[in-house]
Amino acid sequence: MREHLLASSPPVTSGASQPQPAGSTTISQAPSTCSATPEDGNLQFAFEIDRVPKLPDSPPHSTNQAPRRRRRSSTTSRRGSNSKSQSPNGFNNWEAFYTYYKAKIEARRRTVVEELKLEAHIAALFTPPTSYNGSERASAIDGRLFLGSACSAQDPLWLQENQITHILNVADEVGLNETVLQGSGIVYRWLSIADHCEFDIRGQFDAAFEFILSAYQLGGRVLVHCAAGVSRSATIAIAFIMHYEKLQLREALLLVREKRPFVYPNRGFFVALFNFEEELFSANSLPRTALDVHEEALA
């Protein structure tokens, strides 16, 4: 697996303590531990934020006296004669100094937390599922759209129990089982899509959307399937949700992954989804560099 693009920079470690000049104050830079749970499932992560120092809860001085000023030459003193009451760096007292820098440091800490949350989302969305045996039945994405493998499409009992009225087969190597469909009244459509990165799956979106929408207009239920229900059919389902529900790629991918955790389009299909998102929203909800953590083989 490629090096994680958004990997955090190494923590800053403090060297040996140096003696402090008289009258100076030391601000502790103790690391803190932060944990959070992303919105996309049960993924939990913990990380150390020791790149950003944490100021104490109260100023290092309770006095209102300004920090000791360095002696200036007579020339410098004359130049600064109009601002004798102002301390170095523009602060009049320690409270002002403390308040200003505490706000900046806390803002930076929040930024680091958000960056690490995004990193965790990317790791969850673009890392292959740990296991998949290919025998799982189709997953209901919502009340009308089902996503699955060829196994479900060839199971008359499952089709009847789930009231499937339309089947969209997007696998080039999986043909029609006429015995299953005979007398069922199911409407069938086949789009020949190969599961390799160079295939132009974007060119099949419009035909797929038209078929799914025709089923919706009749109040039907659609099964979209390929061989395993992992890459090709998942890409079609994600793209349709982006188009029909007006969801960005990140939201649509999270939705489908919640219902079918082992969904994992190949890299070329992910690129097509990124491009389609730009067509719809003129922007991407995830950085394109997230593709650098994509693995081509399922674990």
> Tell me, what DSSP letter sits at residue 139?
E
Do the strands 145-148 and 139-140 form a parallel or antiparallel pair, or are they unpaired?
Answer: antiparallel
> Tell me, what DSSP letter sits at residue 4?
P
* 34 part of the active site: no
Closest CA to 210 of 185, 245, 243, 256: 243
Catalytic, out of 34, 151, 197, 226: 226
- Measured CA to CA, the distance from residue 280 to residue 248 in angstroms comes to 8
- Measured CA to CA, the distance from residue 48 to residue 35 in angstroms comes to 9
Residue ranges in the chain assigned as alpha helix (H): 74-79, 94-125, 150-153, 156-161, 178-181, 205-217, 232-245, 249-259, 267-281
Closest CA to 275 of 191, 169, 202, 170: 202
Q: Residue 100: what are its φ and ψ, rounded to 5°?
A: -65, -50
Tokens encoding 133: 């045996």
Closest CA to 64 of 85, 36, 82: 85
For residues 218 and 165, is the Cβ–Cβ distance under 8 A?
Answer: yes
Instruction: Report the catalytic residues.
Output: 226
